[in-house]
Amino acid sequence: MIADNKIKRTGKLRLDRYLFERGLVQSREQAQALILAGQVLVNGQKKDKAGTLVANDADIRILGEQMPYVSRGGLKLEAALREFSIDVTSTTVLDVGASTGGFTDCLLQHGATKVFAVDVGYGQMAWKIRQDPRVVVIERTNIREMAADLISEKIDVAVIDVSFISLEKVIPSVIPFLKAGGGIIALIKPQFEVGKGQVGKGGIVRDEAARNTAVEKVRTAFQSAGFDVQGIIPSPITGQDGNVEYLIYAVTRPANSSPSTRIDTMSG
pLDDT of 263 > 70? The answer is no
pLDDT value, residue 256: 65
For residues 198 and 205, give the distance between their C-alpha atoms in angstroms, rounded to a whole number.
6
pLDDT at residue 6, rounded to an integer: 38
Whether the CB-CB separation of 116 and 136 falls below 8 Å is answered with yes
Residue 98 CA, chain-centre distance (Å), reads: 7
Q: What percent of the chain has pLDDT over 70?
A: 91
Q: Is the per-residue pLDDT at 241 higher than 70?
A: yes
Q: CA dihedral defined by 168, 173, 177, 183, rounded to 10 degrees?
A: 0
How much is the average pLDDT of 43-69? Answer: 87
Residue 210's pLDDT is: 94
Confidence band (pLDDT; 50, 70, 90) for 267?
A: very low
pTM: 0.80
Report d(CA 110, CA 107) in Å as an integer: 5
Sequence ranges of the domains in the chain: 2-63, 73-252
Element (H, E) at 216: helix 208-224
Question: What is the per-residue pLDDT across 111-132, written as a single tens digit (0 to 9) for each?
Answer: 999 999 999 999 889 889 999 9
Range of weakest confidence among 28-32, 49-53, 99-103: 28-32
Residue 75 φ then ψ, to 5°: -65, -35
Quickly list DSSP for 84-119: TT---TT-EEEEET-TTSHHHHHHHHTT-SEEEEE-
Mean pLDDT of 146-175: 96
pLDDT at 257 over 70: no
pLDDT at 258: 64
Closest by CA position to 118, among listed 78, 148, 91, 84: 148
Q: What is the pLDDT of residues 168-221, one digit of tens each?
A: 999 999 999 999 999 999 999 999 999 888 888 888 999 999 999 999 999 999
Q: For 13-27, 102-116, 159-173, which range has the lowest pLDDT when averaged over its residues?
A: 13-27
3-12, 28-37, 192-201, range with the lowest pLDDT: 3-12
CB 178 within 8 A of CB 201: no
For the domain 2-63, what is the CATH superfamily, name and number?
Answer: RNA-binding S4 domain (3.10.290.10)
CATH no. of 73-252: 3.40.50.150
Between 73-83 and 102-109, two packed helices, what is the crossing angle to 10 degrees? 40
98/130 Cα distance (integer angstroms)? 11
60-116 pLDDT, tens per residue? 888 886 778 888 899 999 999 999 999 999 999 999 999 999 999 999 999 999 999
The per-residue pLDDT of the chain, averaged, comes to: 89
